[in-house]
Structure formats: C-alpha cells, structure tokens
C-alpha cells in the first residue's frame, strides 16, 4: 500500500499539522530493495525518516503491518521524539502456535498460487477486499496501480517476515489509539494484545473493512482528532 491511501486524513489534518505519508521500502514511490522486509528493519526506516526530517512531538499512525513496525520502533528505541501512537487494524503480535502453523502455510500457498495464475486480477481482488463498501473509483485505481508496482517476491517476504513478531507491549507507555475493524477475524486477539499497553484506548468500527479510515473517514478523523486533543490540549 502507498502512503497516500490516507488521502482523506492528509486533507483533513494538514490544515493544522505537518503530515508525512511514508511509502515503506519497496512500496509506492520508495526504492525497490531485496532485503529488510520485516518489522524490525522497517521500523528503522520509520526512525530514519523522523531523524532526517528532525521531527519532534511526533504522532505515529500505522495501519495493518505498520502497526507492528511502529511497535517494533518503540521496542527498539523508545524514541523521545514520539508523543503518541495510533494503530489501525493490525496485528500487535504475531506468534504462531503449532496449531496455527498449518493455516498460515495454507494462506501463503494460496497467495503464491493466485499470483502465479493471474497476478493483475488477484491484486485487484485483494485491494477491493480491503474495503467494506466501494471507494471512489479514482482512489481504487490509484491504489491498484501502486500495489502492482511491488514485486510478488517482496509481497511474500512481507507475509513471511511478520511471523514470530512480538514487541514488549507492557513496556510501551505512550498514549495509544487502537482502531479495529469489526469484520477482522482477529479483532478479539488485537483487543486483548492492546490491553497489555500501558495507556491504550480501543475502538471498533463495526461496519468498516480493513481500510476503515477510507470506509468511514469522518468517523476515523473525528476519533483521531479527539485523541490528539486529549493528549495535547489546545
């Protein structure tokens, strides 16, 4: 996913804040590389952006895989420049039990085979599955095009690289907003993991899909604004 999938948040919050929508390595407009597609390394990429731009008072907003990458950043560095976190519908841990391993392997096999058979159609179907209702056509076409620019090898590396991820959640004390799709089959596990965080508030978007900030942009923007107002009173 490219960073500009957050277009509705960028337009809303750029009126009062500086917004940086980051394309992770090998995605969007970032360089294509053959290594580092796992949470700990991609977390260091986030830190590099913060350091390069000399940001202070940062609120990190991460969706899907980026939730674990943000948690890995906090786990590795406890950066003093980061003020708060917002984690959107992503796994906060990814320890796979022996019982779950067969299902995970079956999923990887399905992804690999679907990409070999008809990659363009598979990626379009994958992208459409992120939403619970059709997004604006121009938004969908832009995202589909961006997804197609990332190689299938990288996609599989990302899926494998997240396995076994575990941050020390109980050591992360930053104010944290956790937003979960009501359609996510892992919603209960995500909420349970979130309760390990020292200062988290958890919200479920019952009628939204994985890209809940696109399905219900006003609701999400208002929720994030309220969260920011609480940690940073005007």
Please spell the DSSP secondary structure of 26-68, one letter per residue. TSTTSPP-SS--SHHHHHHHHHHHHHHTT--SEEEEEETHHHH
Cβ-proximal residues to 32 (8 Å cutoff; 6+ apart), any chain: 26, 150, 151, 154
Residue 11 pLDDT exceeds 90: yes
Cβ-proximal residues to 181 (8 Å cutoff; 6+ apart), any chain: 89, 132, 187, 204, 205, 208, 209, 210, 212
What does the pLDDT average to over 50-62?
A: 95
Give me the sheet containing 200-205, strands edge to edge: 58-63, 82-88, 176-181, 200-205
Burial class of residue 92 in the structure, from the number of CB atoms within 10 Å of its CB (0-12 exposed, 13-18 middle, 19+ buried): buried
CA pair distance 179, 199, nearest whole angstrom: 14
Which tokens in the block code for residue 27?
Answer: 């995605």
Domain locations in the chain as residue ranges: 3-231
Residue 234 pLDDT exceeds 60: no
Tell me the three state secondary structure of residue 205. strand
β-strands 58-63, 200-205 pairing: unpaired
Total-model pTM: 0.94
Band of pLDDT at residue 98, cut at 50, 70 and 90: confident
pLDDT of amino acid 31: 93
Q: How many CB atoms lie within 10 A of CB 198?
A: 12
Counting residues of the chain whose pLDDT is more than 70, the rounded percentage is: 99
Whether domain 3-231 has CATH 2.40.50.140: the reply is no
Residue 114 pLDDT exceeds 80: yes
């Amino acid at each position: 996913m490219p960073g500009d999938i957050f277009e509705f948040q960028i337009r809303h919050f750029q009126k009062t804040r500086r917004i940086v929508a980051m394309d992770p390595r090998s995605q969007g407009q970032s360089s294509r590389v053959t290594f580092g597609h796992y949470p700990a390394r991609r977390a260091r990429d986030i830190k590099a952006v913060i350091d390069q731009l000399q940001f202070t008072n940062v609120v990190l907003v991460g969706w899907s895989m980026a939730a674990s990458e943000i948690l890995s950043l906090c786990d590795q560095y406890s950066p003093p420049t980061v003020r708060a976190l917002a984690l959107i519908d992503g796994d906060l841990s990814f320890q796979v039990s022996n019982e779950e391993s067969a299902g995970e392997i079956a999923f990887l096999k399905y992804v690999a085979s679907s990409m070999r058979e008809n990659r363009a159609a598979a990626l379009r179907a994958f992208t459409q599955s992120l939403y619970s209702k059709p997004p604006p056509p121009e938004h969908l076409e832009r995202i589909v095009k961006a997804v197609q620019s990332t190689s299938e090898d990288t996609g599989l590396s990302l899926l494998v690289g997240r396995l076994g991820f575990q941050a020390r959640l109980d050591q992360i004390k930053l104010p944290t907003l956790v937003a979960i799709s009501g359609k996510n089959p892992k919603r209960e596990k995500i909420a349970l993991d979130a309760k390990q965080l020292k200062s988290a508030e958890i919200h479920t978007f019952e009628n939204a899909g994985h890209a809940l900030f696109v399905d219900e942009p006003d609701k999400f923007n208002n929720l994030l604004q309220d969260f920011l107002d609480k940690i940073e009173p005007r």
